[in-house]
Structure 1
Amino acid sequence: METARHGSPLVSVIIPCYNHGAFLPDALESVRRQDYPNLEIIVVDDGSTDNTRTVAENSPKVQYIYQTNKGLSAARNAGIRHSKGQYLLFLDADDWLLPGAIKTNANYLQQYTDLAFVSGAHEKVYVANGRILDEKTTVSASHYEHLLQGNYIGMHATVLYDRRIFDQFLFDESLPNCEDYDLYLKIARHHPVLHHTEKIAAYRLHNSNMSGNIPGMLQGVLKILDRQKPHLKTDTEKNALKKGRRNWKNYYCQALLEQLKTGTNKSKAATTIIWHRPELLFKHLVTRRKTMLKTFVKRNAPDFSLRWLHKMGLSKNHVPAVGQVAFGDFSRTTPFSKCFGYDRGGPVDRYYIENFLALESENIKGRTLEIGDNAYTMAFGKTRVTKSEILHVNDKNPQATIIGDISHAPQIADNSFDCIILTQTLHLIYDFDAAMQTCHRILKPGGTLLLTVPGITPIDQGEWKETWYWSFTDKAVQKLTTKTFPEGKAKISSFGNVFAATAFLYGMGLPEVPRHKLDHHDPHYQVIITLKAQKALS
């Protein structure tokens, strides 16, 4: 096996390509941008008739291999035969790797040398509408049983294999699809594997994806599972396979049902659903009749009855006619509360803030700094916190352990904290850039900043009214984070909708607001923006 002088094993990135020359440059560029020092890139042209050869041969440091069209499995096996790496990664030509992907997975294989492969999370990129969806599944043990229940890996490029496994297994060239899932099951049945939730790759969904043939994919995946039946040793494994068959039927038949609703491939979709999940088709037909009735009611019923249906949850998209809006208790120019709803059970925005901290609670640990008090540190950090520090701008707070301004705090040493909780504070600091720079400076490498800022909000009428300078959007926080945490990892989210924003502006208390209305997210009405930023390890 080849190893660089600095000790990094050679990683072979094998890119099978069949008429995806238009996508290939993105895939190649994503490999070249990896921070892993010892790579070889192999493009296997599976009989393409487009410009695949030209793109590959004009790309630096790419080994180009041509074969007559034999299918994806054969192309991957050809890549294995021509590769020299100790670790192998298979990247489809229409997908790409995310920054740090190879280094992340290679570190796992170097740390746990008995692993046959390691896999991670990915993101789905929907080309038609530009939507990006994170795909993360936590699996820490019993990988074979979990794979029997479904392909939790989801995307092949997130997998990095140890080469030795291909002395025992190769991709099955008789399979028209699902050959990667077949390989995962074979390997996990005999060897230890590992899965993590760090994002490794992006899966591009477009019209020419193989996975777009839903009936074919369902037939293929059920065949793969049936191959495992002779190898099942325990009742747990047998039950896992039965559950897997149900899961795959549900998954693909639901997708076919969406095709029926849009009028796409109606005959083939209906036939497949009838064969595997006939009750879904029956429910669809019943629902369709109900929908037709609702449409008739909406077109012919008077406005007061439509408003009643909306309140009952039976007409979710009802919009009153011009001049027919019923303002009710909102028909006023003053809020119900002038203190954010504290006098009515607590502020609406705290729902989003505390949900965010609960979700990220595992990062509240070690030496933790919070502004003003340490209520959130104690509530969400619990025993993970070894030392809780409180920063306050002056000495009026007897709980404070550090006195100072977060935007200029030279008295706090560099690399001091494992976690900083900075909730609803940045808008009170005129030089918020400097405050973020301080947070980055005083965090330890790998430490986490958990920050929330207001978007749509009333302005405080009490203590903070003279220093309430800003409101934010997720785009503003993204720009700020890129500048102040340039090498770290960041996750930015926004929460709220028009109802939540209105309730918050009027000062309604959290107990007065139905939770399901708060949980609906509309990025055009951002009440709270959250940031999880991690300082780079080096």
Structure 2
Amino acid sequence: MTTKPLVSIVNIFFNAEKYFAEAIESVIAQTYDNWELLLVDDGSTDKSTEIAINYAEKYPGKIRYLQHPEHKNVGKSSSRNVGINNAKGDYIALLDADDIFLPPKLEKQVAILESHPEAGMVYGPSLYWYSWTGNKSDRQRDCFAKLGVEPNNLFYPPTLLTLYLTDTGTVPSPCGLLARRDVIEATGGFDERIQHLYEDQVFFAKMCLKAPVFVESGCWDKYRQHLESSSNIAIATGEYHPVKPNPAHKTYLYWLEEYISPQNINDTQLVKALDEALVPYRYPLKYINSRMKQKLKSIAKRRLPSVVHRWIGTQMWGDRYIPPVGAVDFGSLRRVTPISRQFGFDRGLPVDRYYIEKFLAANKADIKGRVLEIGDNSYTRQFGGDNVTQSDVLHVVEGNPQATIVGDLTNAEHIPSDAFDCLILTQTLQMIYDVRSALKTIYRILKPGGVALVTIPGITHISEDEWAKYWCSNFTSKSAQLLFVEFFPEANIQLETHGNVLAAIAFLSGVATEELHSSELEHRDRQYELIITVRAIKPQET
């Protein structure tokens, strides 16, 4: 019997009596039971010390109380290091005394690290939690943290650190992570020269340079937003600002420059990002001049004629140019009817088919043995070729001469179980109301180790052909992920999104692939999910 790895949760606190018990209870409520909680007291003078000691006495062996010598207040970094140095677990999670974990947090993230042994850390988007107040107006303010990357992927050094420097809004919350203790120890843990502000970014920088990091789509923690938080207090005192240059940011950037210098990291994008982040502190006049130019552009937006503004803007900034209100040039797209109602088939290759065929080409090694495709076997022949030993076609109604099997995926007991090495299902699930029953069938009829290659529409119009009456729904990456994990192990699912605003507009208008540049098609914007692709593997029998 395999023993579950132990997770050590390090929860530092300083005068946190108001929210502390709720944070501790969120650990006790975890669906994953092999954990220990280390409550590290940073010299509290309120009732939070008493709260911590009471929980440690109530849960001996599970919860431990730790403090600095003489009950001193030392700082966040030193306190977290005390917890890490006393941890017994294979994995480390961090929790602040005013935040909470959601019940599946440890279960979900342990599974990810267990299935990705090369990853040193995993994190997902924290929920910026305003609604804890119970006020109706605050419920609308809850939002997920920005990831800045396609989730459910592994990122190698120094990709994420470069991202954090260019877009500070993508830096994760400490309570959103789970990390391997040995990787943390290899980095030296938290740097105790930086105790208060940006200490978390110091930690993330070290981790993202040391090992690959898995960024997931699941949110398993709530990051409480309140005026008494350390960041809000620092804003009030002038130590910190989320957008403007500030002393704490300067200290962090100079620390980072000193940290990476001896490591001989020859990544031009990272070096460029760090240099640009340092401009306000090294070259304040240059920074002020840049800000002045931005203000002048803002004035020009309001004063110049739209045609002149648009011409100047496109010449100088290309795709980065944003026309002011009234200056947008719709050109051939200023119409209330599409250019093509046939998805662009009558003009060339539809935009969605570009992504579908690219996905199948990338996974053509899976199209082998006995293959089942829906409607016809064109993709089986195109991408499987001689690797296919038997090609089957499923059609929902009789009369299709290519069909070797007639049936409905939601009610298909006549299709044998464990029969197919590969199943190609393109743009079909939106036609099925009972999607769960269809996925249950897909899982059943695949052989152990068999692969389902599935594409699902995200942004699309509804067809005008005989299938229009069957069209039930479109999907998002989140809804697709949640559906597939009901049947396939999460580690066996590879889900990606494709598209951007231009590709979506082109597809909705019926513009064909040939009318766009490859760079326009290849750009991915996760907020515009034109197509969702899923590669799901049925586990081998044990």
Q: CA deviation at 1:41?
A: 1.8
Q: CA deviation at 1:341?
A: 1.4
Whether 2:323 is the aligned partner of 1:317: answer yes
- Residue in 1 that maps onto 2:474: 472
Which digits, 9 at most, give the CA deviation of each residue in 1:27-76, with x for residues without a partner? 65665465555332222122235664365456554222233223345434
Identity of aligned residues (%): 34
- Residue in 2 that maps onto 1:273: 282
The TM-score with structure 1 as length reference comes to 0.66
2:82 to 62, 69, 78: 78
More displaced stretch, 478-487 vs 336-345: 478-487
- Residue in 2 that maps onto 1:102: 110
SS at match of 2:409: coil
Q: CA deviation at 1:410?
A: 1.0
Whole-angstrom CA distance in 2 between matches of 1:299 and 1:149: 34
- Residue in 2 that maps onto 1:452: 455
Q: Note if contact 2:423-2:452 (Cα within 8 Å) is conserved in structure 1.
A: yes
Which digits, 9 at most, give the CA deviation of each residue in 1:242-282, with x for residues without a partner? 537x766644554566xxxxxxxxxxxx3x233xxx8xx73
- Residue in 2 that maps onto 1:131: 145
The TM-score with structure 2 as length reference comes to 0.66
Name the aligned partner's letter for residue 220 of structure 1. W
Whole-angstrom CA distance in 1 between matches of 2:510 and 2:449: 39
Closer/same/farther in 2, CA of residues 337 and 398 from structure 1, 3 Å limit: same
Whole-angstrom CA distance in 2 between matches of 1:375 and 1:35: 46
Matches within 5 A, 1:34-49: 36-49=32-45
Q: CA deviation at 1:442?
A: 3.6
More displaced stretch, 371-380 vs 383-392: 383-392
SS at match of 1:158: strand
- Residue in 1 that maps onto 2:64: 63
Q: Which consecutive unaligned segments of at least 5 residues does structure 2 have? A: 129-140, 166-170, 235-239, 243-247
Q: CA deviation at 1:81?
A: 5.8
- Residue in 1 that maps onto 2:511: 508
1:405 to 408, 420, 423: 408
More displaced stretch, 442-451 vs 399-408: 442-451
Q: Note if contact 1:76-1:90 (Cα within 8 Å) is conserved in structure 2.
A: no
Q: Note if contact 1:122-1:203 (Cα within 8 Å) is conserved in structure 2.
A: no
Q: CA deviation at 1:447?
A: 6.5
Q: Note if contact 1:88-1:163 (Cα within 8 Å) is conserved in structure 2.
A: no
Name the aligned partner's letter for residue 273 of structure 1. R
- Residue in 2 that maps onto 1:219: 254
Matches within 5 A, 1:101-500: 101-105=109-113, 119-125=120-126, 127=128, 130-133=144-147, 137-139=154-156, 157-162=177-182, 173=192, 176=195, 177=199, 180=203, 195=212, 197=214, 199=216, 208=230, 213-225=248-260, 229=262, 241-243=264-266, 250-252=272-274, 254-255=276-277, 270=280, 272-274=281-283, 282=286, 284=287, 287-288=290-291, 290-309=293-312, 313=318, 315-320=321-326, 329-330=332-333, 335-354=338-357, 369-376=372-379, 390-393=393-396, 400=403, 402-414=405-417, 420-443=423-446, 449-455=452-458, 457-465=460-468, 467-474=469-476, 477=479, 481=483, 485=487, 488=490, 500=503
Closer/same/farther in 2, CA of residues 359 and 414 from structure 1, 3 Å limit: same
Whole-angstrom CA distance in 1 between matches of 2:6 and 2:519: 51
Q: Which consecutive unaligned segments of at least 5 residues does structure 1 have? A: 110-116, 189-193, 230-239, 258-269
Whole-angstrom CA distance in 2 between matches of 1:215 and 1:15: 27
Q: Note if contact 1:120-1:159 (Cα within 8 Å) is conserved in structure 2.
A: yes
With a CA cutoff of 8 Å and minimum separation of 6, indicate the structure with the bigger relative contact order: 2
Whole-angstrom CA distance in 1 between matches of 2:465 and 2:9: 60
Closer/same/farther in 2, CA of residues 105 and 488 from structure 1, 3 Å limit: closer
Whole-angstrom CA distance in 2 between matches of 1:299 and 1:163: 53
Name the aligned partner's letter for residue 110 of structure 2. I
- Residue in 1 that maps onto 2:135: none
- Residue in 1 that maps onto 2:136: none
- Give the RMSD, CA atoms, in angstroms: 5.3
- Residue in 2 that maps onto 1:191: none
Q: CA deviation at 1:303?
A: 3.6
